[in-house]
Amino acid sequence: MPFYDSVVPAYLQMLGTMSAGLKKAEAYAAAKKIEPAVLLGTRLFPDMLPLSRQVQLACDFATKGSARLSASEVPSVPDTETTFDELQARIARTVDYLKTFKPEQFEGAETREITFPTGPGKTTTLTGQQFLTSFSLPSFYFHVVTAHDILRTCGIDVGKRDYLGAN
**Collapsed DSSP state (helix, strand, coil) of residue 101:** coil
b/e per residue, 131-141, with b = 16+ CB within 10 A?
bbeebbbebbe
What would the pLDDT profile of 54-95 be if each residue is shown by its tens digit?
999 999 999 999 999 999 999 999 999 999 999 999 999 999
- CA–CA distance, 84 with 27 (Å, rounded to integer): 10
The residue segments making up the domain with residue 111 are: 4-164
CATH number, domain with residue 73: 1.20.120.450
**Per-residue pLDDT at 166 exceeds 80:** no
What would the pLDDT profile of 92-109 be if each residue is shown by its tens digit?
999 999 999 999 999 999
What would the pLDDT profile of 10-38 be if each residue is shown by its tens digit?
999 999 999 999 999 999 999 999 999 99
Q: How confident is the model at residue 40 (pLDDT cuts 50, 70, 90)?
A: very high
- Total domain count, the chain: 1
What is the value of pTM for the model shown? 0.95
